[in-house]
Every structure is written in C-alpha cells, then in structure tokens.
Structure 1
Amino acid sequence: MGQNYSSPNDIEDSATINLKRRKRVKDNKNAFKPPTVYAHCKCKLKLLKLAKQLDFLNLENDLLSLAEGDKQGENNPYKQVMDQLRGNPVFVGTLEEFVDDNHAIVSTGLGPEYYVSIMSFVDKDMLEPGYSALIRPGRIDRKIEFGLPDAATKKKIFQIHTSKMTLEKNVDIDQLVTSKEDLNGADIKAICTEAGMIALRERRRYVGMDDFVKAREKVFYNKQNTLPAGLYS
C-alpha cells in the first residue's frame, strides 16, 4: 500500500495553526475575568443603593424640619426677649430654654443640646467711647488716664526716634518740644517718621528742621480731621 506524503507547505501551515491555538489558549488563561455576581451580591448592592437614598432623604427631612423650627421660633417668647436685648441676632442654634440670667440651653437641630453661657447682649450702635455698657463690672471697669509727657520726656522720645536718622545741624529738638501743640508719644513718632519720608521724597540723605516743621503740621492736620466727634470731649 502506498503512503500519502504531505507537502512541506502543508506541514508549515499546520504548525502555524497549532501555534496560534496554543497562543490563544495561553492568552485566555491570563486574561482578566470579572468577578461573578451571584444573586445575594446583587441584593447587597441594591441594599447599599437604597441605604444611600435613605440617608439623603433623612438629611433633607432634617433640613426641612430645621427650617420649620426657625419659622415656629419666631413666635417663641424667648426669641422675642433675645431680640429686645440685642440689636442684630446671630443664630448659632435654636434656643431651647433659659436656665438663669447667665446660662441657656441651645440645640443645633442636627446634633446634641449644649449648655452655654450668655456673655452679654449689647447693641453694636451702643459701643461708643464712654458708654456705660463698656464700663460695667467684669468688663472695662477701670478708667486710667495717662497724661501728656513733660518736656524732658518728650525730648527723650524725640531722641529715641531720631537716633538712626542723619540730622542737619540746624535741627533743634528743644524747639519742637516746646511748641504750643500738645504732643504725646504717638504724635512724636508720627512726626519723626513723616519728616524722614519728606527727606526721602526729595532724595536727601539728611533730615532738616524744615522737614520736622512740615511733618508736624501734617500730623496735626490729619489728627484733627480723623478724630471721632466727642472722643476727647
């Protein structure tokens, strides 16, 4: 009997097909396989989705009830008392009740209740110098008057603020000290600073007597125009 011999081209084609099959099988083993989702897994995912929706609805309900509580609190007698005691109320929670004159219970609506201390009820329009609300016991209950410095103290203050400045020989500190204006420490510092700025604007490395005179006039002009009415009356 004769044997059938395949041609070399047929052998190469069969070898190529077998190689592709092996490669395809190998690639299938290494390929990513998504996890299998069973029935109970689907139920868990659905429960998580429903739980998130429930949390959102609960939060929306809390916000609505908080807004309704604010509307109902407008008729609260405690709120009316608070509005009378202070000018512009700032709400940090809902007032539940007054414990005494200095303490109250406040709830935030979404959290627990807090026992708070009432510091004060002061209208911002009443915070003016000399008003009695500022000098009650426990606040600024002492008024200490600081008088103007004498001539020797003024001269020392001038020397302190001009120690790092290059002065002309015609600068007479005694003349600045004995001027008619009432100078305090802040005024003297402002005069020295302004005199130095005048010299810098004119590109000079020294400060003359004219600079101090101009600076003194400017400082007192600004002081008279910026003081609140009745501050030193």
Structure 2
Amino acid sequence: MSKRKPLIGVTTSRRSGWRIYPLIALNVWLAGGRSTRWVAGRDADIDAVDGIIIGGGDDISPDLYGGRIVTTARLDPDRDALERGMVLAAFERNKPVLGICRGSQMLNIALGGSLHQDAYATYTSSDHIRTILPRKTVCLEPGTRLAGVAGTAPMKVNALHSQAVDRLGRGLRVAARDTGGMIQAIERVSEPFAIGVQWHPEHLFYAHRQMGIFRALVAAAAARRDVTPQLPKVDATM
C-alpha cells in the first residue's frame, strides 16, 4: 500500500473560498490527508485526487432540482455546474465525497434529490440559529455510518444555512436531524463512501467528534488510492 497521504480536492467559492479553504485544509491535514483547492473557471482534475470535499457557500440554483427562483438568493451557476459534475464524476470513479452545508445539498441534488428552499418555514419547530459556534442540537440516526464515526449521542453543531434536503437522492439515507425534524446529514448506503452534513465541521476542528468526519473521508480516500473497499476502512476508524 502507498505511503503517500491521500489528496483531497476541495471546491470553494471564488468570492469567499480564500477564507474557508485554509480551515478545511487544516482539518484534512489533521485527519492525515492533504488537499488542493478548486474553483469554477480553473482546472479541476478528478483523476488527480483520491476524494473530494464540496464546500459551503451560496445557495444552489433551483433550476437544478425544479425549485423556484428567489430574488434574495445569491447564486453561482458556474460553481453549481463544477460541483454537480464533480460529484457525478467521483461516483463514476468510485471516489469518496464529503459535502459541507451547500455541499451536502449538492450531493443530494446530483443524485436526483431536492431541497426545501426556505427550510425554517417548513420546519417551524427547528431552532433558527445562525452562528459558527456549536449551539444547535442534532440527533444522529442509530445504525448510520455517521453515528459510527461521530458517536450516537446528540451533537452540538453550528448552523449557517437557510435551505435543507427535502426529497432524498438515489442511494442516500438520512443520517441526522435537528430537534425540529429537519434533515441535517445524509449518507450513501453503499460504495463509494459519501456523507453530507448541513453544518460546518471545519470550524469545529477542536471537537473530536467533528474530526471523526474528516478522518472517515481520509480513510475512504486512502482505500480508494490503494484500490481496496472503502466502507470497511471507514468502519475500522470508528
């Protein structure tokens, strides 16, 4: 097996990615990997990496899932196209994916799912907390891979989103909900490994449970690099 650290491609916004990418890169490094940044309009070679992270940012265009245009939404169609293509290409090549906030939504949409465009209007009992601090409670679904890598107890996370997963995409299941029932995490049930979380674990690098998410991705990427099954490798990190 290769001693080379797995390389993770990380998609970010052209506008704010310079702030977010260093945090994600730190988490990947702490988890035993290395990373490279991708933005729309520049080369992004899926074949050069062992796994991908779809990062957070602006709302996803409703054109991708049959939603309605909201005039207050800030959209980035070029980034939408890059990330949807990267998710599908990753699955075609059996490469693992971690979706963060917007990235979790894109993971769902790429597999044919849809979003609640105003999630808190639908889930009125959900705590509408907008902060990078861990103040929102999510409950992990028993028996999921996320519960395996991050623990089964309720978890305190941050929240910066207004949209959330509605109809699940192909091959996905719910991995966590908040106390109001809103979906907060999804995961793929078969190879390759894929998890999407609605919060921003990169801001919580000091929390052991959040680092478990990045360790799982890096473990899956190492397995892909070595052409071995990913899910058993992830399960061994639990």
TM-score, normalized by length of structure 1? 0.21
Rg comparison, structure with higher value: 1
TM-score (norm 2): 0.20
Instruction: Give the helix-richer structure, 1 or 2.
Output: 1
